[in-house]
Amino acid sequence: MPKVYPATSEVRSRRALLSREGKVALQVICKVPVADEGFVDYAVEIAREGFKVWSRMSGNERGRILANAGKMLLDAHPELARLEVLDTGKPLSESGGVGADSVQFFSGLASTVCVSGSYIPLGSKAFGYTRREPLGVCVGIGAWNYPNQIALWKSAPALACGNSVILKPSELTPLTALRIAEIYSEAGVPPGVFNVVHGDHTTGSLLAGHKGVRKVSLTGSVPTGKKIMERAATTLKTISLELGGKSPMIVFNDANIDNAVRGAMMANFYCQGEVCSNGTRLLVQESIKDDFMHRFCELTNRIRIGDPMKESTQFGALITENHMKKVAFLAISLQVPGLPSCPRPQRRCNSIRNGFFLGPVIFEKCTKDSRLLKEEIFGPVACVQTFKTEEEAIEMANGTDFGLAAAVFTNDIQRAHRVVDQLDAGTCWINEYNLSPPELPFGEK
């Protein structure tokens, strides 16, 4: 059975969008416990027991179980997608699915490079060897925008290598982790190996500082990353941080403009703009700016905003009222120095009374030091700037404290690779945006 901890005295409720007979309403959909210190200790103890069993199995045995889980997760796609819509408010067409492929991919690696070491000859009389060993209990702490994907991207490689996992999903999106735990368990993952602990920053902090935990992997904001780094340092545990971004997308005048506009849509308005790697700083070469803006605004104004449970919806609700207010402040109140080019910054979708809907916004007159160009907004707000030369584009692209992702749109393949080589970003795409198959690493530089 998956380890689901019993309710504590403190209970947090969750309001979410429910779709009934075409009407969208805000309702409490579940209550989850917030794990306190006692529960965190309990979870770590259970995970250590699970580790003893799992780490002693051969990579091949683990791989077989994970392959089974990967298939079951794929089959459960419709259900996981629906749960993710309930949790997040993002459209069904953009939910779930992403993640099962990661479990399938890592299942295939479980008995290969993940676990093999090297043989080192030391003359004729001796040799040395290295071993790759699992760490022990690994903690995954998740953000709310991709709950399925985060749970699976974190657990798949850790489990393939023989670690046990404690996942703490975001307190805003608790649902899918529990179903994923059930599926892992049904697929044959032994008790204590994949565990879910619910809670907020207090629970996350307890896990990050726990002496029985060997590694923490966070997907979240930069401030949280700094706090986790501090907490993890108290026990010298290793960490992986997947944090925020303010990524550039460069469009040169020789690019296929329709493809660049498609890329800009994907890089800004997919998942209501709540994507870490989004290319929210659109750098467009001056000579094609008018054409680009015309087509970009036209497509943006055609986005179908609405009930996230409807297959035809392309743009759902933001995660919480507070988040919507923050995005709206930046997108509506902070119109410095001009009005948005694409006039769609309405607070709510007209056809939906409830829910935190905020239409897409495109700014094209941002001054260099505008907050719009510096801060991660994490909502449907795109900023367009122009450049004259390749050198200028590279300088503008690198003018950020973040370094998560970037893209270059051009038909000149030599220029594409030359520019990518000079970009300070962890993931760079050419004539594409936000592709992230499991075969490729994803993350900060």
Ligand X SMILES: C[N+](C)(C)CCCC=O
Ligand Y SMILES: NC(=O)c1ccc[n+]([C@@H]2O[C@H](COP(=O)([O-])OP(=O)(O)OC[C@H]3O[C@@H](n4cnc5c(N)ncnc54)[C@H](O)[C@@H]3O)[C@@H](O)[C@H]2O)c1
Q: Assess 434 for contact with ligand X (CB under 6 A).
A: yes
Burial of 6 (0-12, 13-18, 19+ CB in 10 A): exposed
Q: Which does 220 bind (CB under 5 to 8 A by kind): ligand Y, ligand X, none?
A: ligand Y
β-strand partners of 217: 140, 240
Structure tokens at 78: 């419709």
Q: Which does 66 bind (CB under 5 to 8 A by kind): ligand X, ligand Y, none?
A: none
**Interface of this chain with ligand X, residues 84 to 103, rule: CB under 6 A:** 98
- Contact by Cβ (8 Å): 375, 246: yes
Rounded to the nearest angstrom, the gap between the alpha carbon of residue 378 and the centroid of all alpha carbons in its chain is 12
Q: How far apart are CA 397 and CA 28, in angstroms?
A: 42
Q: Please say which residue, 182 or 200, places its beta carbon nearer to ligand Y.
A: 200
**Interface of this chain with ligand Y, residues 200 to 259, rule: CB under 6 A:** 200-201, 204-205, 208, 219-221, 224, 227-228, 242-245
Q: How far apart are CA 168 and CA 323, in angstroms?
A: 21
> Per-residue x/- mask for ligand X, residues 242 to 261, rule CB under 6 A?
--------------------
Q: Which does 434 bind (CB under 5 to 8 A by kind): ligand X, ligand Y, none?
A: ligand X
What is the distance between the terminal CA atoms of the chain, rounded to a whole angstrom? 38
Q: Which of 145, 155, 300, 313 binds ligand Y (CB under 6 A)?
A: 145
Q: Assess 65 for contact with ligand X (CB under 6 A).
A: no
Nearest residue to the partner ligand X, using Cβ: 276
Rounded to the nearest angstrom, the gap between the alpha carbon of residue 423 and the centroid of all alpha carbons in its chain is 21
- Which residue in 94, 242, 390, 444 is the catalytic one? 242
Angle between helices 147-160 and 59-75 (to 10 degrees): 160
Name which of 6, 52, 75 is nearest 190 in CA terms: 52
Q: Which of 276, 282, 305, 330 binds ligand X (CB under 6 A)?
A: 276
Q: Assess 275 for contact with ligand X (CB under 6 A).
A: yes
Distance in Å, CB of 278 to ligand X, minimum: 8
Helix ranges, 357-412 (H):
371-374, 390-397
Please confirm, yes or no, whether 242 is among the known catalytic residues.
yes
The site for ligand Y (CB under 6 A) is made up of: 141-146, 168, 170-171, 200-201, 204-205, 208, 219-221, 224, 227-228, 242-245, 276, 376, 378, 404, 443
